[in-house]
Each structure stands twice: as C-alpha cells, then as structure tokens.
Amino acid sequence: MIIGRILENEKKVRFNEKINCNKCEKQVPGGLQTGESYYQTSSFKKELEDFKKSYLCGVCRDAKRLKKD
Ligand SMILES: [Zn+2]
C-alpha cells in the first residue's frame, strides 16, 4: 500500500508498520510505501497515524460497503 506522496521519479521507501483493523482488530500485513522525501516528515507521521486510526481490513470494508448499498 502507498500512503502519502511519491514524487515523479522519486525513490520509494518501504517500511513495515503494525496495522490492526479498527473493527475486528485483525492484524494486517503492514507493508507500506511512501516517497523518500516524505518519509519521516511531520505530515508523514500524522498521515500514518490517521491511516492506522481509520484502517479497515478487506472483510470489514466489504461489509461496510454492502450495508451502504
Ligand atoms: Zn476487520
């Protein structure tokens, strides 16, 4: 998964982060990527926190979508 921004022709940084679904709390594989110049900036950290707070696994995301339709 990619979070934040990656500029054109920029090197990507791969990192691992423990991510749990916010609904069923299942842990999901947290292989993430972002752009080298964005990695570890304060906006990056904030975005990562927000991402973790709102993350839903595929199953819960599907359930939510089906309910909405
Ligand atoms: Zn879930």
Report CA(6)–ligand 1 centroid distance (Å).
28
Report CA(40)–ligand 1 centroid distance (Å).
27
Q: How many CA atoms lie within 13 A of 28 on its CB side?
A: 19
H or E, element range at 32: strand 31-35
What confidence score (pLDDT) does residue 67 get?
79
pLDDT in tens, 8-49: 999 999 999 999 999 999 998 779 999 999 999 999 999 999
Residue 69 above 70 pLDDT?
no
Ordered by start, the domain boundaries in the chain are: 12-68
Report CA(26)–ligand 1 centroid distance (Å).
6
What confidence score (pLDDT) does residue 47 get?
96
Report CA(1)–ligand 1 centroid distance (Å).
17
- Please tell me the pTM assigned to this model: 0.80
CB 11 within 8 A of CB 36: yes
